[in-house]
Copies of this chain bind each other. A is one copy, B any other.
């Protein structure tokens, strides 16, 4: 069975989707990703879809599910590399990629994740200070 590799870069997981995903491969990817988030304590997931010429409702739903599951596991998801034609088709189809952040490229996604980690860190600190009072 084809399997999409999940690469770890620091505390980020990177997935580059290049093959046509059927039900089973998509399920496997979701499982692999969740396992790796828990295993590594990653705080962000970057999904590169620059190789995809078509993003239909199946892929769109999968991206939303991955983002939702990752959020529950305290990791933010950013989708990168969307082709202009794909973006146009998504809007025409009325697919909004609920809860999925996007960025133009991996570098920008890493910037977003670093910034959100910092904000998150400050939030935790504030709560701790409140507890101390």
* A48 partner, pick from B5, B107, B110, beta carbons under 8 A: B5
Query: By DSSP majority rule, is chain A's interface helix, strand, loop, or mixed?
Result: loop
Shortest Cβ distance from A11 into B: residue: B107
**Shortest Cβ gap from A52 to chain B (Å):** 10
> Mask for A10-51, Cβ within 8 A of B = 1, else 0?
100010101100000000000000000000000000001011
Asked if residues B5 and A107 are in contact (CB atoms below 8 Å), the reply is no
Does A125 sit within 8 A of B, measured CB to CB? no
Bound-complex Cα distance A10 to B50 (A)? 18
Q: Contact size class for A?
A: 20 to 34
**In the bound complex, how far is the Cα of B85 from the Cα of A25, in angstroms?**
22
Is the CB–CB distance between B5 and A81 below 8 Å?
A: yes
Return 16 A-B CB contacts under 8 Å, by A number.
Answer: A2-B18, A2-B51, A5-B16, A5-B48, A7-B48, A7-B50, A7-B81, A7-B106, A8-B105, A9-B107, A9-B110, A10-B107, A14-B14, A14-B106, A18-B18, A18-B19
